[in-house]
Each structure stands twice: as C-alpha cells, then as structure tokens.
Chain A
Amino acid sequence: MNQFLLSLLSGIFIGGAAGFLGSLMLPRRMSLAAGPLGHLALSGIALALIYGFDISLGAFPFVILGIFLIWLFERKTKLPTEALTAVVFATGVAIAFFFLPIEQAEAALVGDISSVHFDDAIFAIAICIATFLVVEIIYPKMTLINISEDIAKSQKINVGKYNLVYLLLIALIVALGVKVVGGLLTAAIVAIPAVTSRNLAKNLAQYKFLALSFGILSSAVGIFLSQLTSLPAGPLIIVSSASLFLISIFLKTRS
C-alpha cells in the first residue's frame, strides 16, 4: 500500500477519534490533561525508538503509569490534581531526556506519521474504531456525570466505572496521538477540535459531529501540507486545527 495513503488514513482515524473523545473532555475541564500525559509518554517513546518497536506501544504503559501515580498521590496527599500532574509529568520528561536518541528527537517530540508501518497503521485504526464506539456508548451517561455527579449517583449510575473507562480511553488516544503529533502536542489534538465545535454547535448532536469532523479535517489537511512542503506533519496538523478554530470565532461572532 502507498505510504502516503497509509499515513493519511492513520492520521485521519487518530485525529477523528481524538477530536470525538476531546468533546467529552472539554466540559470536564480536562482538555489539557492529554498534554502532560503525552509528555510523560516520552520515556516510553524513547524506549520504542531505541529498540525499534511501535511508539504507541511504548507510550501506553507510561501513560497508564502516569494516571495511576497522579491518582495515588491525590489520594495520599489531597493536593490539587494539577500540581501533582506537574510533578509527575516534568519528572517523566526529565527522565526521557537521559536516554532519548537525539537524532530521533523530532519524531518523539512532534511525531512522525509519514513513516508508519502497515501493521501499526491497521492496529491504530482498529483501536480508533473501538474507541469511537465506546465513546459513543458512554456518551449519554458521561454527559449526565459531567452535568452532575449527584444526579448520576442518585440514578445508581456507577460513576467510578464510567470514569475508569473514560481514563483508559484517554490513555489509548494519547498513546496513539504521539504517533501523529509526538509527545509535545497531544493536548492539541483533543482540545482544539472540541473548542472549535463548541463555538459553532447549537446542540449536542452537532457538537459531537463537528468535533469528530474537525479532528479528521485538520489531520487530513496537515498531512497533505506535509507532503507538499516536507515540513513535519504533527505541527502542520495543529496549525490547521488552530486555523479552523480562528475561523470558527469569526463565524460565531457573525451569527
């Protein structure tokens, strides 16, 4: 299969799934959470680059470890999550730089979807489809939990279980996201499509659909531009996404 097509398809699926999941993270004020988790994954990415396996596989355990540590420290210390996140993710980045192969630093930091292997691409696409379906299934209950945990609990919804599934999905998307935009830019692929959509959507159905669409569109545009300019795709995807956001502001103020 054509390498460009392979990168394009992987990018589109990962971008779409990230945008879709991001639409659930925005109301929880968790859009930024994917950033630190992506940074933390740098250690795993470095290992994957050294030993030559799929960087998502390297990233995933580190993201899970990060989520677990933040959860654990939060329970033990009662300190604010964001402060603990700073402790955990900065340490992760620091450690990563001890052994990150410097000639491959760009791929680790801002991603490199252009050289994705066939098997890795199929694997990523399958995970994206699964993520999309699970997000779609948990969406109504998660929306209720986002609105009021008390109401959700009073309806005997197992809030803990839903939150666990939701966190696992974030870990999966971050691990896949580093393939496309690297460890530095993962916050952007979940945050920007959702805020752009939020500017334009009149209801929840539109909001979900637009977040998915903007995720797909910015990935596609970024990867096309990368092909034309031979600049890295990751930053181009983010810049495309941010451009859509700017346009949405103008459309919003005019409506």
Chain B
Amino acid sequence: MENAILRVKDLNVKLDGEDVLTDLSFNVDEGEVLAILGPNGAGKTTLLKALLGIVLYEGVIKWREGVRIGYVPQRLPFIKDVPLSVKEFFQLENASENEAKEILKSIGLGEKILRNKVGDLSSGQFQRILIGWALASDPNVLLFDEPLAGIDIGGQESVYNLLERLKVEKNLTILFVTHELSIVYRLADRVLCLNKRMLCMGAPKEKLTPEAISSLYANSIRFYQHKHEEG
C-alpha cells in the first residue's frame, strides 16, 4: 500500500451526540476511483466532509503531502439566489477567462456559456460546470457527492463520459458518494459499502453480491443489480 494517497484509520464522527460513522479504516490508492455506496442517512456525505476536514472527527485521516482536493457538493440550492454568470463563477475560484475556456473545452461545453447565468443552466450543464469548477484549482483528488442526483438522462450520460475521460486523462483519484448501483458498476474500481460502519470493501463485481446489497439496504427500498455486458 505504498501507493496510498489517503489513509483512514479508526474514524469516528458524532453529530449532535449521535454516532454517524463508526470505526472506519481504509486506504485509497492514487488514480483509483472509489465509490462510497449506502442508503440515505448512512453517513456518506459526512464521510466526505470528514475527509475535507470540515466536520470534527476522531481517528486518523492522512492525505499524502501536497495533495490538492477538488470538492463537488451534492446540491447548491442557494446559487440561484446570486445573479452569477458562469464566467464570474469561475472568477470566484481565481480562474482567468482563458483558464475557464480551457476547462470548458475539457468538459465539453462551448465558450458561449460563460455569459449565461448559472441559475439558467440545465441540471446536466450545471453539474458539468461544477465539475469544471472543482478542476480549476488543478486538483489531484476529486471528492464528489452524488454525481448524478437530479440530472435528466441525457445529462447523466454526459457526466458519466466526462468522469470516465477525466479518470484516464488526468490520472485523478476520485471518491464519489452515491446510492445508485449502476454508477458504481460503471465507474468504480472499488466500492466501500457504508451504513454508519463499513459493511464491505473491494471490487464491485466481487463484493456487491445480492446478500451484501440486501444487508446494506436492510429496512430500506429494495435495489436490483443491473444487467451488465461483460467487458
């Protein structure tokens, strides 16, 4: 495990006196795509926040020295309250117009969108802009909360493609949180099944057995494994 970019040991998080995460230990390798899978309320977003250092925790979270982290949160409900153009949104991240144009190209959007209001974008465009925005600080790790939540089917496909491409082109280490199995199979090298504590960790096809899934989602809606062509 010399290649680990992140080491987590005995991580515990309490919010308002309630245990949200209990005794988590895992490593993430450089260039790896790790899915954090679990039902609602499993502590997935809290785990991301602990990794970002924005909630209090006990235990050890050790990022490799010099790591730059880009964070794409689940939703930004308040952004529509600010009349912000896409160009100005990038300026908040100190990205020049040229850098913003470069990034737009890499996320498959034209320059014309710079003048649009962020609040007027479609959900798929907005999600890609958010990813692009997180890329503006030239990160080597991307933390991503529910990449496909609230995005229409066409938009989902574009986000999938973008993430697949980034993984290859930039050698990004990506940690993403989701409750959807399909995106885990399609993108992740490994999966961490989370429901307050770790229930499984490993390659999705090996670890996500019907038993594992039903125990992960016990007492919640039933999920079915999607059919996948063998690559």
Contacts and interface: CB of A to CB of B under 8 A. Distances in A.
Interface in B136-191: none
Contacts of A147: 76, 78-79, 82
Interface string B54-93: 1000000000000001010100101101111101100110
B83 A204 contact: yes
A204 B116 CA distance: 12
Nearest to A198: B83
Interface in B110-135: 115, 117
Given A148-B76, A150-B71, A143 B82 contact: yes
A27 B78 contact: yes
Given A144-B92, A151-B71, A202-B117, A207 B83 contact: yes
Nearest to A149: B54
B197 interface: no
Dominant SS among interface residues on chain A: helix
B71 A154 contact: yes
B54 A154 contact: yes
B218 interface: no
A252 interface: no
Of A140, A203, A205, A207, most buried by chain B (CB within 10 Å of CB) is: A203
Nearest to A145: B78
Contacts of A150: 49, 52, 54, 71, 73
A146 interface: yes
Contacts of B85: 202-204
B30 to A, nearest CB: 20
Contacts of A201: 83
Contacts of A33: none
A146 B78 contact: yes
Contacts of B117: 202-203
A117 interface: no
Contacts of B53: 153-154
Contact of B84 (A26, A154, A203): A203
Contacts of A144: 92
Nearest to B70: A154
A205 B91 CA distance: 12
Given A154-B71, A203-B117, A204-B88, A146 B82 contact: yes
A140 B82 CA distance: 12
A148 B82 CA distance: 12
Nearest to B86: A203
Interface string A174-202: 00000000000000000000000010011
B145 to A, nearest CB: 9
A203 B113 CA distance: 13
A57 B84 CA distance: 37
A148 B92 contact: no
Interface in A136-180: 140, 143-144, 146-148, 150-151, 153-154
A27 B81 CA distance: 5
A150 B71 CA distance: 9
B188 to A, nearest CB: 22
Given A154-B71, A202-B117, A148 B78 contact: yes
Interface of B: 49, 52-54, 69, 71, 73, 76, 78-79, 81-85, 87-88, 91-92, 115, 117
Interface of A: 26-27, 29, 140, 143-144, 146-148, 150-151, 153-154, 198, 201-207
Q: Which 7 residue pairs are nearest across A and B when measured between Cβ atoms?
A: A203-B85, A27-B81, A153-B54, A154-B52, A204-B88, A154-B71, A207-B83
Given A143-B84, A154-B54, A203-B115, 7 more contacts: A27-B82, A140-B92, A148-B73, A148-B78, A151-B71, A154-B69, A202-B117
